[in-house]
Chains A and B, each alone.
Chain A
Amino acid sequence: MREKLNTIVDGTLLLSGNEAIARGAWESGVHFASAYPGTPSTEILETIGDEYDEIDAQWAPNEKVSLEVIAGASFAGARVLSAMKHVGLNVAADPLFTLSYLGATGGIVIVSADDPGMHSSQNEQDNRLMARAAKVVCLEPSDSQEAKDMVGEALSISEDFDTPVLIRVTTRICHSKSIVKVGPRREVPVKGYVTDIAKRVPIPSNARKMHSRVVKRLKELSVWGSESSLNWIEDGDRAVGIITSGISYQYVKEVCPEACLLKIGMSNPLPWNLIEKFIGMVDKVIFVEEGEPFLEERVRSKFLIPAIGKDIISNEGELNPELVRKALHPGTTKAVTFFEAELPARPPALCPGCPHRGAFYCLSKLNGSSTGDIGCYTLGLMAPFNALETTICMGASIGVLSGIEKAVGREGMGKLVAAIGESTFVHSGITGLIDMVYNGNTGTVMIMDNSLTAMTGGQENPTTGKNLRGEPAPVLDLVKVVESCGVKHIRVIDPHDLTEMEKVFKEEFERDELSVIITRRPCVMCYRPVKKSVAILDPEKCIGCKLCMKLGCPAISWKDEKPDISKLLCWPNCDLCVQVCPVDAISKDMEGLE
């Protein structure tokens, strides 16, 4: 659900960091791009898909596959890009660490979009640490212009130094817009595939040589980085020198426009010569960086200098200008403290009309619950459902359910099922299901198939019948996949048929064998309403029993002892409240809306 790009004015566009990375890929001749959607990275590939036909762009089933296909394309001499959220890089870590040894033929850019503050993530890992561990170059842009330019820089570095390059962005870079000078596309020929076994097969005898090359490469890059325009010194009052990178640079400029600072654009390997020069210029050093003390620990251990950093700026959460102001000018604030009211929280909720609502309503009604996964349906944990109680990472719902059964048996597991979306199942749930079958588990896996990768804004996946560009694609048949894993009991059901949904749960709770329920109904984002239809309450009939409130529908609030159904929010092809009302007090014209 991207907004359209604006038009070029005086050679500039107002672009988000993600759009700028897409533009940068196009301008610098990228041939091929692949990603698995993940906030805050998703719009990079969406923008390429919508705007830049010259780049062959596709969704991968997961981040590991995405990195492998771009590695192959690089081996064949194409310029390539893979994008993912920070935790996606964990999935892709296996190819990443060895691709670092193999290097690049066509330039390789990997974008890691970290999420400090966890706006839409389960942890706030700082992937500069991953870049260092994998011994690859890490670039950190501080606005959209830098994000665009760094893609070109990254491709040159990648080809000149034979290395993958990680561009590490954060939510505030990805989803902030700023003005970007744009240029034309520069076509770069695909070099072609040439066999080079010593370079691409890391059997130990080859890999040892590769590792030596990697170590040498990092030393050369550090020297190069001190001369590169990626890193720079801004001179000012030398009583204090600030070392900063990424979005933190913008906050420092906002709060201390005249500061003497070192802006790091390449944070791995660090430009040691430039850092040494800067330290020699200033009396005292302060590190302003979001996340882990990455720059601080490395610089202080190399030069053994006294300095301030994480003792005044937390490594938890996201920075903002106020926090940087308080750190650099203690005791000052622009905030007016006239207001200290506690307001009701407004957490996210399943949309009106959401297919998952039927499943969680029934599960909750039967006092059942679930081991959960990553997607909109994680919201099954919220009241009034309270029907999801674990989440780790993509695909983990299935393994966690199996493990609980191994520890406490079928009886101890009670009415727990694994709840996983179809896209997440394809991403990394299938192996969990194979494990369940292979090791004799008896639980129930609920694959919540809403025909869309929804949480990230609505992307296609291998089960939807369309590719990234919306063109027809083969459909992965989930029933056949599950069947071929060895599952004997498979039920496919519309989760908005509450009677049937409840019946299926009851039967599967009783069953002593492994089963899979596929709840199949399209996400509301797939549905183009043909007409407006609103549920209507007959206040005479309503007995105020509040059963409709157990649906957790944002369109229904409770006013004057009766449900109040919002005509703004009520979703056309949903009649769950009509179904649950025991006295037929709610009606809705559903003709032509199925």
Chain B
Amino acid sequence: MKPVTNVIICGTGGQGILLASEILCEAARMAGNDVKKSEVHGMAQRGGSVSSHVRFGEKVYSPLVEKGTADLILSMEKMEALRWAPFLSPSGTLLSCDLEITPMTVNTGHAVYPDVISMMKEQDIPCRMVPAFEIAEELGNLRVVNVVLIGAASPFIPIDEDYWYRAVEERVPSKALKVNIEAFRKGRQLSV
């Protein structure tokens, strides 16, 4: 029986978290897994903290990942990586875009954006920072940050490489396919 793999993709509303998790689900499904994913729409998407839980394996019951059991957390924003860190399993991997998006509570002076890197060191949270924003800039399309990141996460997820590219083809609009495939490939190169 294939064990269940638990993934959380997180960040802020509007960063393309839902598309990234769609690509993961598609790849997992093509690879013959039972798949469930869960996320929240609506008010939370207006720039708030957003997450998508994906679970796949032989048989999946709960669509939600339990605290302390995520095999992989992929964050599109630095502080959000820290927010979701309690979901990481002791053997899990945490990957984050090194992008900093300050929440309104910081902009209005009600809170201070934390020093994420040193907090992670203090807490012994192993985190791989990914310069996805810079790569997207090089590719001339800031909207592919999410696909660079899912590319960077892909070697840590037990799904064969072929399925990933087929999943990107399936989920992204055909007119933006070329740049997204390139974004995925560049992201993947960072981790292999």
Asked whether, in the complex, the Cβ of B85 is within 8 Å of the Cβ of A339, the reply is yes
Q: Name A338's contact: one of B38, B103, B123 (CB within 8 Å).
A: B123
Evaluate contact between A339 and B86: CB separation under 8 angstroms: yes
- How big is the A interface, by class? 35 or more
Name the distance in Å between B3's Cβ and chain A's nearest Cβ. 13
User: Is A14 a contact of B35 with CB atoms below 8 Å?
Assistant: yes
Interface string of A1-20 (1 = CB under 8 A from B): 00100110100001000000
Chain B residues in 8 Å Cβ range of A384? 108
With A14-B25, A333-B68, A376-B46 as contacts: A557 and B63 at CB distance below 8 Å? no
Interface membership of B102, Cβ < 8 A: yes
A176 near B37 with CB under 8 A, answer yes
Is A382 an interface residue, CB under 8 A from the partner? yes
Q: Evaluate contact between B36 and A40: CB separation under 8 angstroms.
A: no
For B80, the chain A residues whose CB sits under 8 A away are 346
Contacts of B62 in A (CB 8 A): 250-251, 253-254, 320-321
Contact assessment for A119 and B107 in the assembled complex, using a CB-CB cutoff below 8 Å: no
Contact check, B41 vs A120: say whether CB atoms are below 8 A apart.
Answer: yes
Give chain A nearest CB distance to B62 CB in angstroms.
Answer: 4
Q: Is the CB of B47 within 8 A of A349?
A: yes
Q: Mark contacts of B14-47 with chain A using CB atoms, 8 A cut-off: 1 yes-contact digit, 0 otherwise.
A: 1000110010011001100011111111111111
Q: Is the CB of B123 within 8 A of A343?
A: no
For residues 383 through 437 of chain A, which have their beta carbon under 8 Å from a beta carbon of chain B?
A: 383-384
Interface hit among B109-117, B153-161, B183-191 = B109-117
Contact across chains for B119 and A341 when beta carbons are under 8 A apart: yes
Most B Cβ at <10 Å: residue of A335, A343, A347, A556: A343
Question: Is there an interface contact between B66 and A321, defined as CB atoms closer than 8 Å?
Answer: yes
Query: B43 touches which one: A120, A253, A341, A383 (CB < 8 A)?
Result: A120
Contacts of B112 in A (CB 8 A): 344
Cα of A558 to Cα of B46 in the assembled complex, Å: 20
Interface residues of A in 324-367 (CB under 8 A from B): 325, 333-339, 341, 343-351
- Tell me if B5 counts as interface (CB < 8 A to partner A): no
Partner among A39, A344, A456, A566 whose Cβ is within 8 Å of the Cβ of B114: A344
| Least distance between A137 CB and chain B CB atoms (Å) | 26
Given contacts A120-B43, A250-B63, A253-B61, is CB(A343)–CB(B79) below 8 Å? yes
Which of A14, A247, A455, A566 interacts with B42 by CB under 8 Å? A455
B64 contacts partner chain A, Cβ-Cβ < 8 Å: yes
Q: Contact between A333 and B170 (Cβ–Cβ < 8 Å)?
A: no
**Among B42, B49, B67: residue with most chain A CB under 10 A:** B42
**A238 is an interface residue with CB less than 8 A from chain B:** no
B115, chain A: closest CB distance, angstroms: 11
**Do B42 and A347 touch (CB < 8 A)?**
no
Residues of B within 8 A of A351 (CB): 14, 46-47
* A457 proximal to B (CB < 8 A): yes
A120-B40, A554-B47 are contacts. A336–B90 as well, Cβ < 8 Å?
yes
Contact present for A455 and B47 (CB under 8 Å): no
Q: How far is the CA of A39 from the CA of B82 in the complex (A)?
A: 28
- Does A158 lie at the interface of the complex (its beta carbon under 8 Å from any beta carbon of B)? no
Question: B36: which A residues are within 8 A, CB to CB?
Answer: 143, 176-178
Asked if A568 CB lies within 8 Å of chain B CBs, one says: yes
Q: In the complex, A106 Cα to B110 Cα: how many Å? A: 56
**Known contacts A251-B62, A455-B42; is A344 also within 8 Å of B105 by CB?**
yes
Q: Are A346 and B103 in contact (CB under 8 A)?
A: yes
Residues of the A chain whose Cβ atoms lie less than 8 Å from the Cβ of B30? 9
Q: Which residue of A lies closest to B80 (CB)?
A: A346
Among B35, B38, B41, B83, point to the contact of A457 (Cβ < 8 A).
B41
Q: Does A171 contact B (CB under 8 A)?
A: yes
With a 10 A CB-CB cut-off, give which of A379, A384, A554 has the most chain B CB atoms. Answer: A554
A171 to B114, CA, bound (A): 32
Is B108 in contact with A348, judged by CB distance below 8 angstroms?
no
Tell me the B51-110 residues at the A interface (CB within 8 Å).
Answer: 60-64, 66-69, 79-80, 82-83, 85-86, 88-90, 101-110
Question: How far in angstroms is the closest Cβ of chain B from A338?
Answer: 6
Q: How many angstroms between the C-alpha atoms of A175 and B51 in the bound complex?
A: 12
A542 CB–B CB distance under 8 Å:
no
B19 contacts across to A, CB distance below 8 A: 3
B34 cross-chain contacts in A, Cβ below 8 A? 178-179
B142 lies within 8 A of chain A by Cβ: yes
Q: Is the CB of B12 closer than 8 A to any CB of chain A?
A: yes
Decide: A320 and B64 in contact? CB cutoff 8 A: yes
Chain A residues near B40 (CB-CB < 8 A):
119-120, 171, 175
**B86 and A335: CB pair below 8 A?**
yes
B192 to chain A minimum Cβ distance, whole angstroms, is 27
Q: Which of chain B's residues have a CB closer than 8 A to the CB of A457?
A: 41-42, 45
Assess the A178–B35 pair: CB atoms within 8 A.
yes
C-alpha gap A346/B113 in the complex (Å):
11
Interface centre among B39, B40, B49, B110 (most CB of A within 10 A): B40
- Going nearest first, the 3 A-B pairs with the smallest beta carbon separation are A120-B42, A39-B42, A344-B111
Beyond known contacts A176-B38, A341-B114: 10 more, CB 8 A cutoff: A14-B29, A40-B41, A322-B66, A335-B67, A335-B68, A344-B110, A347-B48, A349-B46, A383-B105, A552-B108
